[in-house]
Amino acid sequence: MEEYHSGDEVSFNPDEASNAVKECIEGVIGGVDYSQNKVNQWTASIVEHSLTQLVKQGKPFKYIVNCAIMQKSGAGLHTANSCYWDTTTDGSCTVRWENRTMYCVVSVFAVAVNL
């Protein structure tokens, strides 16, 4: 991991994080149809791959990654997040992805580590 100097403020970049998460989602479920038997494996894989890619960016953040996969059935899905943090450094992003059989929603929260 890179070394950071105290006083250097790094802000969370939601676009970079979203792109990394989208790549992970595509890599795990991009070409498949919904399968109840595989959902637990898919969600675990998406959060682990996303977390790995975020950490590889080498920025001083603690990350929280949450993933929900839902079969398309006409039912509604509503999510909400709320955070109390330093808005100058910390941040979050939510990626919504879908194919013809399912929805995937991944939320990333990044909290700056003061070194």
**Whole-number percent of the chain with pLDDT over 70:** 91
* Nearest C-alpha neighbor of 32 from the set 73, 76, 66, 69: 69
Q: Is the pTM of this model over 0.85?
A: yes
Handedness of CA 25, 29, 33, 39 (dihedral sign): negative
CA distances to 28, 33, 34, 43, 105 from 37, rounded to whole Å, are 15, 11, 9, 12, 19
- Please say if the pLDDT value at position 63 is more than 50: yes
pLDDT category of residue 77 using cuts at 50, 70 and 90:
confident
- The pLDDT of residue 10: 83
What rounded mean pLDDT belongs to the chain? Answer: 91
Residue 3 has pLDDT above 50, yes or no: no
